[in-house]
Structure 1
Amino acid sequence: MIGIWHAFAETPRWKLKLQVKVSKKAAYSVDIAMEPLPLSIRMENVTVEGNTVRGTGSAFWKPDEKAEAELKFEQSSFSGRLYIPLFGELQLQGKEGRGPFLSEALMEQIKPYRSGKVVQRTDEQIQAAVEELLSRMSIADKVGQMCQCMASNFSFGGAVATDPPEKLIAEGRAGSVLGAFDINRVFELQKIAVEQSPLGIPLLFNGDIIHGAQTIFPVPLAWSCSWDMEAIREACAIAAKEASASGLMYNHGPMIDITRDPRWGRVVEGAGEDPYLGSLIAKAQVEGFQGSSLLHEETMIACLKHFIGYGAAEGGRDYNTVDLSEGILRNVYLPPFQAGIEAGAGSVMNAFNIYQGVPVAASAELLKGLLRDELGFDGILISDYGAVDEIVQHGYAKDAKEAARLAVNASMDMEMVTRAFDSIPELLHEGKLTEAQLDEAVRRIVTYKYKTGLMDDPFRYIRPEKEREYHFSADHLQSSLELARKSIVLLKNDGVLPLARNAGKIALIGPFADSKDLLGPWQFSRYGHETVTLYEGLQAKGFTEDRLLYAAGCGVNSALEGGIKAAVEQAKQAELVVLALGEGSEMSGEAASRMSLELPAVQRELAEAVISAGKPVVLVLTSGRPLVLDWFERHANAIVETWFLGSQAGHAIADVLLGQYNPSGRLTMSFPAQTGQVPVYYNQFRTGRPQTAANASEKYISKYLDGPNEPLYPFGYGLSYTSFEYSGLSLDQNQIKPGETLRASVTVKNAGTQTGEETVQLYIQDVYGSIVRPVKELKGFAKAVLEAGESRQIVFEISSSDLAFWTPAGGYVTEPGDFRVMIGSNSRDVQTASFELIQP
């Protein structure tokens, strides 16, 4: 019975394919996934009698209701029953193996609908075609293009009172669809649009493809720690390849908000705290999703979100108030959006927050003035889920009708899911909006329907044959594994790592020791049951059951009867303990803010008990944000931050633990020493009374009474199994003029005993200026793979453009004055030299 099995089931609404994975380590486990819905269940209480397996488990969408299974296995088939809270009791008859794709029946059916005749048009030809279509559109047709509906009653937020999608689409009242997880559903709805709507305009199908479609990659905060733009670009290209095969062509990503407060759950979706690195990653993601041309059917429209300032929510509480100066907005939060727009992103999504007292969704200053007029963005501006309605909730509009007027005046093109835009005809009649405003919005939307080839071949993205080829393919899994390895950050190591392959018994303890909850939030894979656990990763490296002692010890947030006692017993029998702790994926992401950055109390209790056994302990941490690790820094022998690494997580972690991959990840968010420090970030201002080594004992300086100012682990930090030494920082000149270039060089030596990769980081400080400048800012980095004992000179070129910043008085300027160059292995440990920018 060990292995993967499949069965089909019918419900009044869905035809389901179920995959059942039966595993045995210390005990049996059963994981069940469903197609076409991205839902999975792990049976937690499994018993086996002969060839019959029984189990119960929780479904994440209804955690208070139990799923139940009773399955009887024969040589190559199985039968039984499965109760799922969403569907009730299903009777199953199944076979061994993954089985055919549910969409295979569509392969022949779709062929007559795909014309394959996509026209390569110039911008002028697209514009002419759009104008011709506009001339035939009624007001109702235009409003319909500006409205989006859900594919079903599945909701990403609050319930929306609206007509069924079939009715909206047939009547031409929706121009795009969100949340069509099923390629058959895409076909069904696109067919209605083309055959029944007044003008037959095809639909855009939107989805949140944040870090993978079916093959899941590390969460964006994790992959940012790779500092590897090409690997990130490839991950996004693969995600687009898989998603577009299922009919999706418009991504609600990437999220490029700068994030300084780890209490905010959405830090998991971004690239961390630095605007320079965040800009490079924004560019890489846009290029990955959109490829060289949106006319290629394996690409997706990239949507930059959330414009702007969403990452600065007060108290780290999602959807909360944001209060930013224009200087912080432009110097910190804007650069990734500038980079994404320059890379050609086809869409931008507004932020939920207010700016200067105005909800962003209604802010003509930000959306029309800054985004469109100043930055030159001419793509589709889409509201976030419910953001137009929320203009009323913010207290900035009387009702949904007034909210719609404000949003359209701010140049909003498309309302996501809610129906405030239904009031546009009335607003036109009252003279509060003009048809010209609608024409501008519809031009932008329909332009992208031409750019993606939809207007020529509405069914071109519906490719079930490519689903079978691409989804969870071996090549895509290998790419996920490689990026997962690069994303792991070694935070502490007293020499206990890497583990020897011939080491004795290892106790693998903790709620993440054999958990498949390693994909993280914002993923909709139907292959969650095949996620490689840490136990499976070590098992694949040759650790047999007698050498790999296992105990969960506790749940993520709950105690297990006798769990800690069993874990301590396993620890006592082992030479070393791998303690796998962390956050569940539901603890990160949207609407997952936390007051405390500590691990749940039950996990701390487990850790204290296990460490008291006196064996060396390696903490392997699964999380979607920086956590407070001060206690573990003092008590664990090694700490490995693995984040949520995706489909191949267990293999990647095992590779690092055993030294088959030398960890090279570097933090993109600072880890606070205590929660009370946050927000804590490297590029802060000095203040008028900065703390220094010389004045640390004085009272009237900027410091805490009960802890340090500095983070436990700073931005850019990360260890290796080798060591690197920096020496000889020099500048080729100590003065430059605008337009000239300065060369800064440093020698980096691998002083250890094995090959390793170092990320050499360049920071610059503007010592004084017309406004106060940060203590340092990342302006470049270089990745160097060095053999043991090898030295290499690393050279950076610094131009006057690297010194520019925004000021209230002068806009973007480069000011003469003194500068410091800092180069090192992280934002804290640097060598320093100085130069001057002089007037010509």
Structure 2
Amino acid sequence: MPVSAQASRTVARHRQKIEDLIAAMTVEEKAGQLNLLADPFRWMPTAVNPLDGTGDPARVTALIREGKVGSLFNGIGAETGRRIQQVAMEESRLKIPLLFAADVIHGLSTIFPVPLAEAAAFDTELARRTARAAAIETAASAVHQTYAPMVDVARDQRWGRNVEGAGEDVLLNNLLAAARVRGFQGDKGLDDRDAVLATAKHMAAYSAAVGGMEYNTTDMSEQTLRGVFLPPFKASVDAGALSIMSAFNDVNGVPASGSRKLLTDILRGEWGFEGFVVSDYTSEQELVAHGFAEDGRDAARLAFNAGVDVSMVSGLYLEHLPGLVASGEVSMARLDEAVRRVLNTKAALGLFDDPYRGTDPVREKAVVGAREHIELSREAGRKSVVLLKNDNGLLPLNKSQKIALIGPFADDVDNVWGPWTIWGAPERRVSLEAGFRAAMSDPQRLTIARGSGVETPLDGGIDQAVAAAHDADVIVLAIGEATNMSGEAQSRTEIVVPAPQVALVDAMTALGKPIVILLRNGRALALEGNVKNAQAIVVTWFLGEQMGHAVADVLFGDHGPSARLPISFPHKSGQQPYSYDRKTTGRPANPDLATEEYKSRYRETPNTALYPFGYGLTYGAISYGPIEMQSDKLQWAGTLNVAVTVTNTGSRAAEELVQLYIHDRVASLTQPGRLLKDFKRVSLRPGQSEKVTFTLNPRQLGFIGADETWRIEPGLFDVWLAPHAQGGATATFQLIGPASITDGR
């Protein structure tokens, strides 16, 4: 069982009790354990779903008494949590504790950078630490489960939910999925007071929606499904996740929430998953709209038999499972199996030993918004800032300069958190203005003007901005996307800076002063015109509550930029979907030629990224030496060391992220032009050199073959040790071995 030994022992200790409960339950009570409703009792100040799922407290209380609710979600609060649990433990027949869940995506009260921003840090330990801090606050607020991490690999930046994931690369997604699961669940067992059950979502291929349009269909080869979109879920299961959320979309014609192949054959049969599957918000009910089910009863039958154990909000399981069991369309064994999975997880969480865990208001007050969590938010924020451009060393800024901070986000606090922030503390939000003033030697040398709204112009706004910038030594333009332009149901046809902000940039450019662009964004953007041409460009994402301080830490040089892009910034929106690991095709385009006919490219743009995956500058100047190889051959049962010497020729200390990419020259299925296989961070003082060594093994060179199994084939491979996915020198080695090796991975 993929959980800690302690959790396994906890489940084993309660096994007989669980079997006795199942034997004692009515069919209606069994269906009740699989019924997940929105919490109508506790604090949820923000609407986060399209339907009003709050319900009537009196009705939900009655259902709890009758044993017809197993879980509640998106309410927090220790004291009220105890009162709700008392209804289940003191007034219901079987006294089974409720499971409380919540959408804690990047922090509960203390808000950390959005997951995509944090992915830019390329730091699994940072991801674990922020998830750990979020779990401590969540567990103390009488919540046992979070609907995170989102592990959908996203290659189309039009899709709004890029902001919740780890970008376009499979390896990075795998590593961060596992790190976040470990962070949420901790290392002491799920029954530890600070542990929160992780839920990997959304299984599967949700992010591959056609056209990047939210909730749209997906259609792909089995090799792409298994090679790109499923691995982060497998990594989550291997890390111990005991909950999986099914997706809204259909995959090759079968809705994911009705796919036995995904939710039973692969998840359980191939991976050995022993937790429970929960539907996304009414996703099982939506089998009707998909045209896959006739009505709600049919949808319940299809989803449940496919492997969805818990129904979120729709109430279909409570309404229809008793009748479906009575008719034989759902077996009692399948019903008992689902109930057993839920009860086993409640046991693993320690709820049978202490149903009131997390309901101590004193502890809640002590840990929620703790000082160390706030400090971690600032650290995570500055480690997520990506420097894209820095002509003539414009950055870092001088703290005594006259600075004009211009743009819709100059003094804004409403857009520092980013999407999926429900319970943050508004009074702790730090604007860019506040961060700059705190960092500058004379805060009065900072002038402020918004100049434009996010998507609409401001009357007289540009004139005010010109006046504010008149005497400045440098103009800092805070532009990009508002919170509501990223996230669920926020797909965009054009991933550009909105026109009113571009007009503001044009007006500022006309002043002839140095310009720094600060991009606020939840996806990659296609940068054009004077935005692209600015002397310095910095990606600041949505960095959480300490955003102003985190950005100032980097811009004024107290900390150097160290993050790298987890997504490719294209030349044009029309390049979407785009990822660095595209295949060469039979007519590969030469990236060095501006025009080239009869090649795989668009007429208007090269077949490259403006700023590729893995890209990011430092305040140092990093040079790479030639690749050093232990040998030009890798034996089937051996390893191969490859190394490069990197040197900081600049005058400031820097952190460089050295990335290892490979390309399989000839294979039984065409392969990507590059694939990230490892990365290492190195700190370099001015003038310092360091040799960075990687050890390759044959397992890293495999792929999903035509027979849908993992295979490794001998032959020639290119290898790069590079600063990003479009850079670096290459070397070649040969994998020596038999015709191929396959396994059932």
Q: Residue 149 of structure 1 is aligned with which of 37, 43, 48?
A: 37
- Contact 2:78/2:364, CA 8 A, preserved across alignment: no
Task: Give the Cα separation in 2 of the matches to 1:810 and 1:643.
Answer: 37
Trace 1:476-555 onto structure 2 (pairs within 5 A).
476-516=373-413, 517-555=415-453
Tell me the secondary structure at the aligned position of residue 88 of structure 2: helix
- Contact 2:647/2:687, CA 8 A, preserved across alignment: yes
Task: Give the Cα separation in 2 of the matches to 1:837 and 1:496.
Answer: 44
Task: Give the Cα separation in 2 of the matches to 1:373 and 1:499.
Answer: 54
Trace 1:144-223 onto structure 2 (pairs within 5 A).
144-152=32-40, 156-159=49-52, 164-223=59-118
- Contact 1:497/1:658, CA 8 A, preserved across alignment: no
1:367 aligns with 2:256: no
Task: Give the Cα separation in 2 of the matches to 1:737 and 1:810.
Answer: 25
1:839 aligns with 2:737: yes
Tell me the secondary structure at the aligned position of residue 754 of structure 1: coil
Task: Give the Cα separation in 1 of the matches to 2:314 and 2:399.
Answer: 59
1:634 CA drift (Å): 4.3
Correspondence for 2:743: none
TM-score, normalised to structure 2's length?
A: 0.95
- Contact 1:157/1:385, CA 8 A, preserved across alignment: no
Trace 1:633-648 onto structure 2 (pairs within 5 A).
634-648=532-546
Q: Deviations over 1:21-44 (max 9, x none)?
A: xxxxxxxxxxxxxxxxxxxxxxxx
1:130 aligns with 2:18: yes
Correspondence for 2:362: 465
1:140 CA drift (Å): 1.2
1:266 aligns with 2:161: yes
Correspondence for 1:285: 180
Q: Residue 489 of structure 2 is aligned with which of 591, 599, 606?
A: 591
Task: Give the Cα separation in 2 of the matches to 1:636 and 1:787.
Answer: 28
Task: Give the Cα separation in 1 of the matches to 2:377 and 2:593.
Answer: 48
Aligned letter for 2:267? Answer: L
Task: Give the Cα separation in 2 of the matches to 1:604 and 1:169.
Answer: 54
Q: Residue 721 of structure 1 is aligned with which of 599, 616, 619?
A: 619
Correspondence for 1:235: 130
- Contact 2:399/2:439, CA 8 A, preserved across alignment: no
1:637 CA drift (Å): 1.1
Q: Deviations over 1:717-738 (max 9, x none)?
A: 0011111111130211112232
1:265 CA drift (Å): 0.6
Q: Deviations over 1:419-471 (max 9, x none)?
A: 11120111111110111001110111000111111112111111211221112
1:394 aligns with 2:282: no
Judging changes above 3 Å, is the alpha-carbon distance between structure 1 residues 758 and 532 closer, same or farther for their aligned structure 2 residues?
A: same
1:598 CA drift (Å): 1.1
1:560 aligns with 2:448: no
Task: Give the Cα separation in 2 of the matches to 1:495 and 1:728.
Answer: 27
Aligned letter for 2:116? Answer: L
1:696 CA drift (Å): 6.1
**Which one has the largest radius of gyration?**
1
Correspondence for 1:384: 280
Task: Give the Cα separation in 2 of the matches to 1:632 and 1:269.
Answer: 29
- Contact 1:509/1:551, CA 8 A, preserved across alignment: yes
Task: Give the Cα separation in 2 of the matches to 1:807 and 1:353.
Answer: 25
1:496 CA drift (Å): 4.6
Q: Deviations over 1:126-162 (max 9, x none)?
A: 3333212212211111100001011129662324597
Q: Deviations over 1:508-545 (max 9, x none)?
A: 11111111121001112341232111100011113545
1:304 aligns with 2:200: yes
Give the percent of matched residue pairs that are identical in Structure 1 and Structure 2: 43
Task: Give the Cα separation in 1 of the matches to 2:372 and 2:387.
Answer: 27
Task: Give the Cα separation in 2 of the matches to 1:358 and 1:500.
Answer: 54
Q: Deviations over 1:41-95 (max 9, x none)?
A: xxxxxxxxxxxxxxxxxxxxxxxxxxxxxxxxxxxxxxxxxxxxxxxxxxxxxxx
1:555 CA drift (Å): 1.7
Correspondence for 1:434: 331
Task: Give the Cα separation in 2 of the matches to 1:686 and 1:347.
Answer: 38
Aligned letter for 1:820? Answer: D
Tell me the secondary structure at the aligned position of residue 610 of structure 2: coil
- Contact 1:611/1:635, CA 8 A, preserved across alignment: no
- Contact 1:553/1:567, CA 8 A, preserved across alignment: yes
Structure 2 unaligned blocks of 5 or more: 1-5, 42-46, 739-745
Correspondence for 2:28: 140
Aligned letter for 1:708? Answer: P
- Contact 2:11/2:347, CA 8 A, preserved across alignment: no
Task: Give the Cα separation in 1 of the matches to 2:242 and 2:282.
Answer: 21
Task: Give the Cα separation in 1 of the matches to 2:252 and 2:532.
Answer: 44
Q: Determine which structure has the larger strand proportion and give its number.
A: 1
1:356 aligns with 2:252: yes
Tell me the secondary structure at the aligned position of residue 466 of structure 1: helix
Correspondence for 1:322: 218
Q: Deviations over 1:186-233 (max 9, x none)?
A: 223212111222211111001011111111000000000001111110
Tell me the secondary structure at the aligned position of residue 683 of structure 1: coil
Structure 1 unaligned blocks of 5 or more: 1-117
Tell me the secondary structure at the aligned position of residue 729 of structure 2: strand
1:331 aligns with 2:227: yes
Across the aligned residues of Structure 1 and Structure 2, the Cα RMSD in angstroms comes to: 1.7
- Contact 1:492/1:633, CA 8 A, preserved across alignment: no
Trace 1:250-261 onto structure 2 (pairs within 5 A).
250-261=145-156
Q: Deviations over 1:581-638 (max 9, x none)?
A: 1211111111111111111111111111111111111011111111111324543110
Task: Give the Cα separation in 2 of the matches to 1:634 and 1:267.
Answer: 22
Task: Give the Cα separation in 1 of the matches to 2:710 and 2:397.
Answer: 55
Aligned letter for 2:209? Answer: A
TM-score, normalised to structure 1's length?
A: 0.84
Judging changes above 3 Å, is the alpha-carbon distance between structure 1 residues 175 and 282 closer, same or farther for their aligned structure 2 residues?
A: same
Aligned letter for 2:503? Answer: E
Judging changes above 3 Å, is the alpha-carbon distance between structure 1 residues 274 and 832 closer, same or farther for their aligned structure 2 residues?
A: same
Task: Give the Cα separation in 2 of the matches to 1:468 and 1:325.
Answer: 50
Aligned letter for 1:617? Answer: I
Task: Give the Cα separation in 2 of the matches to 1:486 and 1:143.
Answer: 46
Aligned letter for 2:25? Answer: M
Tell me the secondary structure at the aligned position of residue 20 of structure 2: helix
Trace 1:21-40 onto structure 2 (pairs within 5 A).
none
Tell me the secondary structure at the aligned position of residue 272 of structure 2: coil
Task: Give the Cα separation in 2 of the matches to 1:227 and 1:502.
Answer: 29
Task: Give the Cα separation in 2 of the matches to 1:721 and 1:693.
Answer: 27
Greater relative CO (CA pairs within 8 A, separation 6+): 2
1:500 CA drift (Å): 4.3
Correspondence for 1:248: 143
Task: Give the Cα separation in 1 of the matches to 2:300 and 2:8.
Answer: 36
